[in-house]
Amino acid sequence: MEQFVQAIVATQNPQLRAQAELQLSQFQQSNPQQYMLTLLQVISDKAQNVGVRQIAGLIFKNLFKNRANSQTMADKWIAMNDQIRQMTHTALLGLLVEPDMNIQNLGANIISNIAVIDLKTQRWPDLINFLTVDPTLPKLKAISNIIEDADYPTAEPLFNPVVMLCFKIVSVSVETCVAVLDIIDHIFNFKKVTDDPAKRNQLLQLVLSAVKQNNNDIILKSFQVINTFVDFCFANFSEIEGVMVEVSQKILGLPCTPQVLDVQKTVLNLWETVAKNELDQTTQTRSVIQPVFPLLSQQIIAMIASVPSPTEDIDENDVCFVSQDTLATMVKCVGPSVLTQMSNTIGALYTNPNWQIRFQAMSVFASLLVESGIKPEVISSHVLALGQLLNDQVPINRATSVYVISKVIKFYPDYFGRSEIIGITNKMFSMFGDVEIVTHAIAIFFSGLGSIERLSSYVFSQDFAGKVIHALLDATSKSRNLSMSTLFLTSVSDILKGSKNKGLCIEMDKFLLSSMQSVLFQNPEFLGYTVLVLESCLMNFGDDLMNNPQLVNMHMGIAIQSFNVCPEPALILLDFLVATLKENIKPMFNTLIGKVIEWSRIEMRPDVFLSYILLVGDMALSAQSEFEKYCGDFVGLFLNALLNPEFEITQKNQITEIIGDLIVVGCQNVASQIKNIIGVMYQLIRAETIETKESQMLSAQSKCAALYVLAVILQQFKNAEPLTELIGGMLEAIYYIIKNQHFGEDFSLVSSVTGTLYDIFDFKFVTNSPLILNEVKSGNIFQALTRIKSVSVSNDQKVYENNKILSAIEKKIKHAFNI
């Protein structure tokens, strides 16, 4: 025990951390159950230093951070004998009533790790009663954590006693009220709760009573809870709309003093969330924002004038910034008519002697600007005035005019003639080197211009772009502001990409390669951005890159050497080289695969790991015969990533598709993992989503990716009899997809379902599956085909081709099963 405690303490010492973490890891690997128990002993040992107990608690909580690891630890805990389990329960609950507040919080933070396991298996029968009788803040925090960490079946038994408790204690104190609201916040995450009118209204009653309180902490938390409600239950926002408008008007109408700023920003965030959800709806419903906009817009516009400094940039947390974001999002729901109506009023304020009013006028114009529907004469009158404001005496106004002109050009590039846009860019370049806030805006202007294809091709001539780039690189070397320097390098990348000028890119690549000893490569803070500039150069090389292996080796060497300092840019450059060269990468394969395997042992952030996965996927496709033997190991690694909650759904979709590619490349090396792969695909297909356009789109993409993997398995193992026991489950997964009310909204998903069905009935041993046989005999499969046809009714060629495949499936079924 003493040695274990020493190892825990040593994890906080930079010089001893590596050895201590290795010791703890070896203990965990050798005896996971004893490892958990020993940690829990340290946590509950009152003789130990509070700091030691807290470190042990953090280590214990981290055991359950990664979902794959969490399931392993859960299985080990479930296997624990009941006597040890009971002793642990008693010790954990004891933490909640210790006199030291730090230990109480520790108990509240870690108790859910065990609770969500034992409540699911009904092995902690007295927990709910303990937490809801004589409630304290630590007990309420523990309840909140359990509901946050648990799935619906596990959390559901807590709801009735917990909600009853909340009604009893909500008015006991400010702290108790905030704790109650925190619990409700997590309950609102369950769709089955928000879909139940009685449960929903009961919880909303509590929140609405809290939002009217005269206490900023309570109001702040109430709005945060309502924000969650809007995200998960937007369709029912009308039930609280009137109260929220009334309370919002009252709060936004207060002077912007430090005492109320946080509350005002939370109110603004709520209405931005409401607007975003309205824009995301899959079906047209009554607009919430249209009738609300006239009631709130003037107060929001007034808050935009609360700019803190005439010389410093606005922080995204400033109420001025949040107000602009909220107004802009709400206007998207209302349309271009708002700017048309207010245009003259705004224009008259551009020459106001008060610099804050001029700032407000520009910012309001930018916020009211929507991407289409504004007449050219309205745009031109404002651009003319904004051009004058580029010479404003106040730095923030000069910078703001740059930002606003940049936004106008982005939304309405066709409104600008060639000479006009060249005149604007020359003026902007002449301002580079102004005070920092203006120079920052100019760099962003050129960065944004690089993404507007219609303009960048002639604005960024080799001569002009070269001047801008050299000015940016020179400023990078001289600036003492790290964020400014990295912005300059990002702008260089964007200009190179946008110019599509091969001569410019070759010239800049040579310049950078001749500057290896400069600060661009020698400063670790700049290296990653410089590597991305190199990638931007190579994008426009074309065949010059293919035909120059020496150049490829030079850039590959830079990327590999840069990995330890800036892994993500290094991986991006390597992936670009591999994807561009395709089979021409084979001579360098052995060098690269050695590094890629070495890097697989390094823990990476999700965004970095995704870049790593993309590189592996392109290597597999570019050098298939060389990569085949490595596929099994990489598939296992990537499956774990799919179970990691830190990855976003878009990232998981990319990982899923690459797993499919790896199965194609090395199917025999992946054969032993097929059952596990299919199980993970089922999880992706059945993942719950909320009712918004974006979430439904992402869900469809996720299902398409999972179906791609299932289809690949069926194609690669179509003659493998052991797969017979698994194809019934594949058909059930398809049934699950087509029963969804949104099936048919995304044709790519319809096409994926059809393709996977074809592969199922193309499987050699399909007739040996009892489940498939039953579905054919009962006629369910033919009903499924009819359902797919019913959502494929347009005259589009893709729909026609899909229906031909459906007809082929029907013939295949009838032939195979002698119908």
Question: What is the C-alpha to C-alpha distance for residues 650 and 698, in angstroms, rounded to an integer?
Answer: 7
pLDDT at 446 over 50: yes
**This prediction's pTM:** 0.81
Q: Is 103 within a domain?
A: no
Helices (H), 539-582: 543-546, 549-562, 567-581
Of 295, 314, 334, which closes a domain? 334
pLDDT at 309: 92
Least confident of 37-46, 55-64, 95-104: 55-64
Tokens representing 748 are: 């790519």
* pLDDT tens by residue, 527-579: 999 999 999 999 988 888 878 889 999 999 999 999 999 999 999 999 999 99
> Taking residues 393-412, what's their average pLDDT?
97
Compute the distance between CA of residue 303 and CA of residue 320 in angstroms, rounded to an integer. 6
Distances (CA, A) of 27 to 45, 77, 253: 20, 16, 59
Per-residue pLDDT, 106: 86
Average pLDDT over residues 723-730: 89
Assess if residue 808 is contained within a domain: yes
Q: Is residue 796 part of a domain?
A: yes
Whether residue 38 is predicted with pLDDT greater than 90 in this model: the reply is: no
Q: Residue 690 above 70 pLDDT? A: no
* Residue-level pLDDT at 283: 66
Average pLDDT over residues 223-251: 94
pLDDT of 69 above 60: no
Q: Which of 22-31, 42-51, 330-339, 701-710 has the lowest mean pLDDT?
A: 22-31
**Residue-range definition of the domain harbouring residue 188:** 171-280+287-334
Residue count of the chain: 819
The residue with tokens 């048309």 is 340
Calculate Rg over the CA atoms of the chain: 30
- What confidence score (pLDDT) does residue 721 get? 87
User: What pLDDT, in 10s, does the model give residues 485-507?
Assistant: 999 999 999 999 988 889 999 99
Question: Which of 334, 351, 370 is the last residue before a domain boundary?
Answer: 334
Q: What is the pLDDT of residue 333?
A: 95
Q: Which residue has the higher pLDDT, 587 or 17?
A: 587
Report yes or no on 180 lying in a domain: yes
Does residue 358 lie within any of the structural domains? no
Positive/negative CA dihedral, 392, 396, 402, 408: negative
Q: Are 442 and 404 in contact (CB under 8 A)?
A: no
Residues 6 or more apart whose Cβ sits within 8 Å of residue 698: 649, 650, 653, 689
Percent helix, strand, coil in the chain, to 5, is 80, 0, 20
Q: Which segment of 203-207, 264-268, 343-347, 688-692 scores lowest on mean pLDDT?
A: 688-692
DSSP state of 121: T
Whether residue 692 is predicted with pLDDT greater than 80 in this model: the reply is: no
Average pLDDT over residues 3-16: 78
* CA 785 – CA 303 distance, rounded (Å): 57
Q: What distance in Å separates the CA atoms of residue 576 and residue 525, rounded to the nearest whole number? A: 22
* Separation in Å, CA 348 to CA 357, 358, 401: 10, 9, 15
Question: What is the identity of the amino acid at 419?
Answer: S
pLDDT at 71: 67
> How confident is the model over 507-514, as a mean pLDDT?
94
Flag the least confident range among 311-325, 683-697, 753-767.
683-697
Tell whether 249 is covered by a domain.
yes
Question: How large is the average pLDDT for residues 632-638?
Answer: 93
pLDDT value of position 66? 52
Distance CA 278, CA 294 (A): 17
Please state, for a pLDDT cut of 70, what percent of the chain lies above it. Answer: 98
Would you give the DSSP letter of residue 480? Answer: S
Span 90-97, average pLDDT: 90
How far apart CA 600 and CA 612 sit, in angstroms, is 9
| Digit-coded pLDDT (tens) for 783-819 | 999 999 888 777 678 888 998 999 999 998 888 888 7
With a cut of 50, say whether residue 508 has pLDDT above it: yes
Q: 108 or 296: whose pLDDT is higher?
A: 296
* Tens of pLDDT, residues 167-192: 999 999 999 999 999 999 999 988 88
Mean pLDDT of the chain: 91
Phi, psi of 437 (to 5 degrees): -65, -35
736 within some domain: yes
Q: Rounded to the nearest 10 degrees, how much is the dihedral formed by the CA atoms of 358, 364, 365, 371?
A: 160
Give DSSP secondary structure letters for 492-517.
HHHHHHHH--HHHHHHHHHHHHTTTT
Structural domain total, the chain: 2
Does the pLDDT at position 354 exceed 70?
yes
337 vs 27, higher pLDDT: 337
Over residues 285-293, the mean pLDDT reads: 89
Average pLDDT over residues 434-440: 96
- What contacts 811, CB < 8 A, 6 or more positions away? none
Range from 22-36, 144-158, 521-535, 600-614 carrying the lowest mean pLDDT: 22-36
In a domain, 46, yes or no: no
CATH number of the domain bearing residue 181: 1.25.10.10
State yes or no: pLDDT of 691 exceeds 60: no
* Rounded distance between C-alpha atoms, residue 766 and residue 650, angstroms: 33
How far is residue 235 from each of residues 296, 363, 382, 546, 692, measured CA to CA in Å?
Answer: 21, 32, 38, 54, 10
Mean pLDDT of 392-409: 98
The average pLDDT across 600-617 equals 93
The answer to whether residue 68 scores a pLDDT higher than 50 is: no
Q: Among 302, 334, 366, which residue terminates a domain?
A: 334
What percentage of the chain has pLDDT greater than the value 90? Answer: 63
pLDDT at 360 over 90: yes
**Cβ neighbour number for residue 48 with a 10 Å cutoff:** 17
CATH number at residue 690: 1.25.10
Rounded CA separation 139/96 (Å): 7
Residue 662 has pLDDT above 90, yes or no: yes
pLDDT (average), residues 380-385:
95
Q: What is the pLDDT of residues 145-172, one digit of tens each?
A: 999 988 888 899 999 999 999 999 999 9
Tracing tokens 């610099």 back to the chain, one arrives at 355
Asked if the model's pLDDT at residue 67 lies above 50, the reply is no
